[in-house]
Amino acid sequence: MQEVNDMKPMVSIIIPMYNSESYIGQTIQSVLDQSCQDFEIVVMNDGSTDNSEAVVMSMQAKDKRIRYKYKPNSGVSDTRNKGIEIMKGEYVAFLDADDVWKQDNLQKKIDLLKQTGKGWVFSNLEYIDENNQPLTVPVGNFKPYNLTENLLLWEGDVVPGPCSNIIVRADFLGNDIRFDTRLSSPADRDFCLQLSAKEEGVYLDEKLWLYRLHSKSMTSVNVKVVDEMVCLYKKADEKGWFRNSKIRRKALANVNLILAGICWNFPTQRKRMPGFLVKSFWYSPSNFIKKKVVSIFKS
């Protein structure tokens, strides 16, 4: 049995969990197998109704670095924030309850933070399915630089699968950077925007973790994302995240076109589609035409 370490751990790994019994054991084990062993695992149970708790408690009995807390269901953003409130580490890492880290993920990222003095770090990834089989997922237009601008433009992958990827210095996170509880699907993007607005993160060009794609993944678009993305871009205006008016116009043209496409795929939202199309054209007619509008309406 792993001895309890009363000293402050170097890294706190926050794992929000909701009905994750199929994968949570493998996810936690991937942390226990890290080459860096100076950590605590903070598992936040967001009101699960399956056997997730029993899986975690069984593992906790063998390794007291696993901390477990149950809370009523309140969504993934609030759950991560609650984990931040009780963490003890000098660094904080986030890990979704169905993803898996490779053995050197923690060590290599923390080493890079120490070498560069940066506030946060992220890497590349590989994809797996629900049976741990590798998936080939085409990634076009990968832009792990000029992070605030590229995150707002929504024209390619910037910080892949953020919340199993990033590691942040706790003092850089401070008391101001938190997950927005109004958001679910775009919450990760918003969190990265908060980080990048404070300081450009450092990118480690290695595939250090495995992103699981399956039918229950939050990557699936849901109808709530329309209002949440509208909320996110209003927030971007309020926070002054747009570098200049040109970037703002292009970003808003892009996101309104994306929202039109999402509305098209949800019959209950189709009446909103013309409004988003008009806004996209109004913000940037040339950008609207270049984006090949027909393609956004393909399922």
Q: Is residue 60 part of a domain?
A: yes
Instruction: Let me know if residue 219 belongs to a domain.
Output: no
Domain contains 86: yes
SS3 182: coil
Please report whether residue 61 resides in a domain: yes
Is the same domain home to 156 and 250? no
Please tell me whether residue 16 adopts helix, strand or coil conformation: strand
Q: Which distant-in-sequence residues (6+ apart) come within 8 Å of 35 by Cβ?
A: 103, 104, 106, 107
Whether 152 and 247 map to the same domain: the answer is no
Extract the tokens encoding 238.
């309020």
> Same domain for 137 and 234?
no
Residue 295 lies in a domain: no
The answer to whether position 34 is within a domain reads yes
Contact assessment for residue 100 and residue 13, using Cβ atoms and an 8 Å cutoff: no
Kindly state whether residues 144 and 46 are assigned to the same domain: yes
What is the structure's pLDDT at 191?
98
230 & 110 share domain: no
**Both tokens assigned to 95:** 């890990």
Q: Within this chain, do residues 31 and 153 fall inside the same structural domain, yes or no?
A: yes
Are residue 147 and residue 119 in the same domain, yes or no? Answer: yes
Which of 188, 212, 236 terminates a domain? The answer is 212
Q: Is residue 6 part of a domain?
A: no
3-state secondary structure 82-138: HHHHHCCCCEEEECCCCCEECCCHHHHHHHHHHHHCCCEEEEEEEEECCCCCEECCC
Co-location of 73 and 195 in the same domain: yes
Using CA atoms, how far apart are residues 161 and 154, in angstroms rounded to an integer? 14
Segments forming the whole domain that contains residue 68: 11-212
What are the residues whose beta carbons fall under 8 Å from the beta carbon of 63, sequence distance 6 or more? 1, 2, 32
Residues 239 and 110 in one domain: no
Shared-domain flag, residues 128 and 241: no
Q: How many domains does the chain have?
A: 2
- pLDDT recorded at residue 219: 42
State the pTM of this model. 0.92
d(CA 104, CA 87): 22
Residue 209: enclosing H or E segment and its boundaries? strand 202-212
Residue labelled with tokens 């433009």: 153
- Within this chain, do residues 205 and 277 fall inside the same structural domain, yes or no? no
Domain boundary among 181, 212, 243: 212
Considering the domain boundaries, does residue 296 fall inside one? no
187 and 255 inside one domain: no
Last residue of a domain, one of 212, 244, 278: 212
- The label of the residue with tokens 């008009």 reads 278
Strand, helix or coil at 169? Answer: strand
Residue ranges of the chain with per-residue pLDDT less than 50: 1-5, 218-220, 294, 299
CATH assignment at residue 189: 3.90.550.10
